[in-house]
A and B are shown apart, each in its own frame.
Chain A
Amino acid sequence: DQQVKQNSPSLSVQEGRISILNCDYTNSMFDYFLWYKKYPAEGPTFLISISSIKDKNEDGRFTVFLNKSAKHLSLHIVPSQPGDSAVYFCAASNTGNQFYFGTGTSLTVIP
């Protein structure tokens, strides 16, 4: 049973525009969420996180929004750059336990 879902397998965005990647989860016990970026044949690289006590966390061009009532989080990248092209995974955990990953969204930023 997939507890974390990313329903869009791919996304294409023009350079300079906003990229919005979405993630839904089913387990209301999750209280910590992360976004990872992954290039082919490499391990994931941590991007940004948010705990359930917040609804927004911003770091440079990356902003994560959390809607607990909808069990939904999103990652906004603005402005998008060609180097942002990668697969993005969202992950969720309940404190002290393992992370559950979504299936990933492949982002392509077109120059």
Chain B
Amino acid sequence: GAVVSQHPSWVICKSGTSVKIECRSLDFQATTMFWYRQFPKQSLMLMATSNEGSKATYEQGVEKDKFLINHASLTLSTLTVTSAHPEDSSFYICSARRGGTEAFFGQGTRLTVV
């Protein structure tokens, strides 16, 4: 199946700093990528939909100035958590859609803000 690579898989940062997470589709072009967040024992919650070459569409309640999404190419989308705080600690997962409706997921990034 298609491969989506997410990097880093695990990051610790100090409160107030920014962290960038990359999501790459390795063997296909993804016109649309999705960013999800998962809190412990909860479902994956969609944060935003990222379309190549245009601004991301954020879900209600997600601060676009805090979670900056860039989809600069058909194989790369980035999520930057700006001025991170401990409450931003979570598991972030991207997915990329290769035509149709099936999406392929990255392995996720565990963010811990201390």
Instruction: Give the residue of B34, B41, B91 whose beta carbon is less than 8 angstroms from that of A41.
Output: B91
Does A49 belong to the interface (CB within 8 Å)? yes
Closest to A9 in B: B41
Residues 78-114 of B, flagged 1 when their CB comes within 8 A of A and 0 if not, give 0000000000000101010000011111111010000
Q: What is the 8 Å Cβ interface bit string for chain A, positions 15-40, against chain B (1 contact, 0 not)? A: 00000000000000000101010000
Knowing A98-B34, A99-B34 are in contact, say whether A44-B44 is a contact too (CB < 8 A). yes
* Shortest distance between the CB of B93 and any CB in chain A (Å): 5
For chain B, the bracket of interface size reads 20 to 34
Question: Bound complex: CA of A93 vs CA of B103, how far in Å?
Answer: 11
A41-B108, A43-B105, A44-B93 in contact; A98/B46 too (CB < 8 A)? yes
**From residue 53 to 111 of chain A, which have CB atoms closer than 8 A to chain B?**
89, 93, 95-96, 98-104
Which single residue of chain A is at the shortest CB-CB distance from B4? A43
A4 vs B42: C-alpha distance when bound (angstroms): 13
A7 interface residue (CB < 8 Å to B): no
Q: Binary interface profile of B, 34-49, with partner A (CB < 8 Å = 1, else 0)? A: 1010000111111001
Chain B: which residue is nearest A32 at the CB level?
B101
- Taking a contact as CB atoms under 8 Å apart, the answer to whether B34 and A45 are in contact is no
Task: Give Cα A36 to B41, complex, Å.
Answer: 15
- Chain B contacts to A: CB under 8 angstroms: 1, 4, 6, 10, 34, 36, 41-46, 49, 91, 93, 95, 101-108, 110
